[in-house]
Amino acid sequence: MRVLTAGSRESFSVVHAAYGGADAVLHVPVAGGLIDRLDADGPDVVLVAPEVLESGADELVTALRSKRPGVALGLWAPPDDLMQTMALVTGLEGVLAPGSSPDEVARVLHAWAARRRAMVERGPASPRAVLIACGDESVVEPATGSLLSIAGFDVARTDSARQALQLLRTRDVHVLLTDPRVPELNGTSLIRAAEAYDPGIVAVIRTPAQDLRQAIGHVREAASEFIIHPEPNLDLVELVEAAWDMWAGERASKALSRTKEIARAGVAANRMRKANAELEAANRRLEALAHLDPLTEQLNRRGLQRALTAETHRAARAGGSLAAVLLDLDDFGTVNSRFGHAVGDQVLREVADRVAEVLRPTDVFGRIGGDEFLVLLPDSGAQDGLVVAERLRGAMTTSVPVGSFAVATTGSAGFAVLRRSAEGLEQVLEATREGLRRAKDGGKNRVAGSSEDAATIDALRRGEGLTAVGLPIVDLAHDRVIALELLSRAAGTPLPRPSEFFPAARAAGALVEVDLACLRTCLTEADRRDAEVVHLNLFPATVFATPAADLVELLGLPDRSVCLDLSEQHVARAPGALAKALRPLRAAGARVALDDLGFGHRSLDALLVMEPDVVKLHTRHVHGAAGDPDAERFLGRLIQAVEALDGELIAEGLERPEDRDLLLRFGVKSGQGRLFGEPA
């Protein structure tokens, strides 16, 4: 629904809030622009401020009604008696207060629009409708209504102008029987108000002879047909019959002609609208078919190219990244040659459906051709992109039922983070096919990146290009360094940060080797700095794959004071087995820290099973907690849970003094973060 407001824009702010968009609420500052906006924008409701009506309410309402009879007109003003009377007199739907809530505004405006549409669509009622508005029973006797009903009229009676206008708003009236002294309004005002609802209404003014001159003066300015009746002995039923004949005569003839004209135009317009709608639907279907692969009903090359163009432009504007995964079924040629192309097509459809099920909402999926598929991963770098690539590869490892047997399938995947200049589909395929070839050469059913990434991982396996930086752990009360966490870096390589080279190492099957190389680099740096207490990050896979005696020797236990930091998100997969594997290291003097507590949803399991010596609170629960009641409450509960298990606490991600003060109030003694300097 569209609303057109007229008056001071500031006063209509709640109307904008009710509809929540510039397209739904239009505005003109003065009455002069209303008529033009009716044609240009086709609103359903026009809402005017009182000052807009001051320059000529009757003329404005008449012009609006003649231009767009189906538009509901309302007054935006405090709903006092004066404003209510103004709305009734000018033929508006009603008064809506500026203090109304957005929900109330929307409800009222929708009701006004529905009522006006119903009145326009309903047209004149078939019964001959008469409204008697007379407060003096000596002028129009009560029995008159009964006599008119017997004569076949649909009669309603009120004793005030206000009630008469309320009835005119909700029902069709052909003849208005009134007197010049009707309470609350004079004859002219009532007739003009009646015209606002139906310009063709016929007014019968019943008046004593002594008031005849006054009655004539009341109606001279009115546009309606009218009959003045000063003779008390004339039958009012005959008079109303005459008024009905006036209404039904020439007006009915013109209305019928106009109705036929509108009907013919409406039929033609409906046919045109239907044809246009069918054409648009056909065009949409053709457009969709042009971008869809008919076998899998996923995007085809053309559809992928269009999506790629849109995503690269969006990434360039937002400064984001875009990755891609090229998927290929392993040994699919054997399926076609052994079972036939019909079975091969069924396998392709099934695999495409299963891949589509594991996509994220923003991912783009399509078929390149044959058994190759491409997935675009918006806002994805090496770390999360490789995780998605592995999930996609897993979806291709399935068994497709075909009649009485099943076809087992696996797939390989090539992964690449795209350059900003890669707007062409062939560029993307070139970037990902290198990884796909490496995955196939490496034994199939795996994910691989580019040769550049592979060369980087091979170098990191040997410890080449690795460096270490230190992040101090500080006594919060005294700003004194009490330990040093060492973090690995691969500066000068295409994968400089752990969040980039560890996922690539995992995909290449080299996670343990790279992790051990990082551990050696960090230990060398610890010796160089002569650090007394050292925190070292380690993957659980490295603990499982490396003999405990070798790790004890590498760590220099028990001579070196070492704390092994293991991330909760990795520990949560098998906390019991990991706790068992760590026992020899703890017996040799190593301490164990559960890192990133609060990252996932199994923190309590990891805490209870691992029984860590140190617990590190995740940044998300520390940074910005001070001043946020909910965050403070959650952080307090998390700290209480750890203290109940007698664990030492270290807060990560400290950047603000107020967060440090909050942690001290909670009894946390140690922390680390940019508040104490960058990793160096």
Instruction: Tell me the pLDDT tens digit for each residue of 48-84.
Output: 887 777 656 666 777 777 777 778 888 888 766 556 5
Residue 190: per-residue pLDDT: 73
Q: What residues of the chain score a pLDDT lower than 70?
A: 20-23, 30-33, 39-41, 54-59, 79-91, 118-119, 121-127, 135-139, 141, 143, 146-147, 149-152, 180-188, 195-200, 206-239, 241-273, 275, 282-289, 420-421, 598-605
Q: Determine the residue type at 112.
A: W
Write out the E strands in 410-453: 411-417, 447-448
- CB of 60 within 8 A of CB of 34? yes
Neighbouring-strand partners of residue 369: 372
Q: What is the DSSP string of 577-643?
A: HHHHHHHHHHHTT-EEEEEEETSSS-HHHHHHHH--SEEEE-GGGTTT-TT-HHHHHHHHHHHHHHH
Q: CA distances (Å), 534 to each of 8, 206, 425, 550, 554, in order?
A: 68, 105, 48, 19, 14
| 423/509 same-domain check | no
Q: Which of 122, 147, 176 is the last residue of a domain?
A: 122
Q: Which of 122, 138, 160 is the last residue of a domain?
A: 122
Residue 215: per-residue pLDDT: 47
| 466/435 same-domain check | no
Residue located via tokens 């054409």: 279
Residue 597: per-residue pLDDT: 73
| 479/383 same-domain check | no
| 545/571 same-domain check | yes
| 474/617 same-domain check | yes
Please report whether residue 275 resides in a domain. Answer: no
Q: Determine the residue type at 554.
A: L
Write out the E strands in 449-517: 467-475, 480-489
Is there a catalytic annotation at residue 58? no
Of the candidates 6, 3, 15, 196, the one whose C-alpha atom is nearest the C-alpha of residue 97 is 15
| 399/519 same-domain check | no
Domain count, the chain: 4
Residue 645: per-residue pLDDT: 77
Q: For the sheet with 225-229, list strands across it.
A: 153-158, 128-133, 175-178, 202-206, 225-229
Residue located via tokens 């399935």: 398
Write out the E strands in 423-524: 447-448, 467-475, 480-489
| Local structure of 45: helix, strand or coil | strand
Please report whether residue 69 resides in a domain. Answer: yes
| 626/502 same-domain check | yes
Within 8 A by CB and 6+ apart from 9, the residues are: 27, 29
Please report whether residue 268 resides in a domain. Answer: no
| 512/530 same-domain check | yes
* 9-37 core/surface letters (b: 16 or more CB in 10 A; e: else): eeebebbbebbeeeeebbbbeebeebbeb
| Token pair for 5 | 């407001």
Residue 476: per-residue pLDDT: 93
> How far is it, in rounded angstroms, from Cα 304 to Cα 30?
50
Q: CA distances (Å), 268 to each of 260, 275, 439, in order?
A: 12, 10, 63
Residue 165: per-residue pLDDT: 79
Please report whether residue 503 resides in a domain. Answer: yes
Q: Which of 122, 140, 166 is the last residue of a domain?
A: 122
Q: For the packed helices 187-197 and 161-170, what is the interaxial angle rounded to 10 degrees? A: 10
| 385/520 same-domain check | no
Q: Exactly one of 371, 515, 565, 596 is catalytic; which is it?
A: 371
CATH number at residue 192: 3.40.50.2300
Average pLDDT, the chain: 79
CATH number at residue 390: 3.30.70.270
| Token pair for 637 | 């509960």
Please report whether residue 403 resides in a domain. Answer: yes
- CB of 653 within 8 A of CB of 673? yes
| 399/468 same-domain check | no
| 134/80 same-domain check | no
Q: Which domain holds residue 308?
A: 301-449
pLDDT, tens digit, 9 for 90 and up, residues 355-368: 999 998 889 999 99
> How far is it, in rounded angstroms, from Cα 193 to Cα 166?
11
> How far is it, in rounded angstroms, from Cα 264 to Cα 256?
12
| 424/566 same-domain check | no
Q: Determine the residue type at 679.
A: P
Of the candidates 525, 583, 591, the one whose C-alpha atom is nearest the C-alpha of residue 562 is 591
Q: CA distances (Å), 546 to each of 210, 466, 520, in order?
A: 118, 21, 14
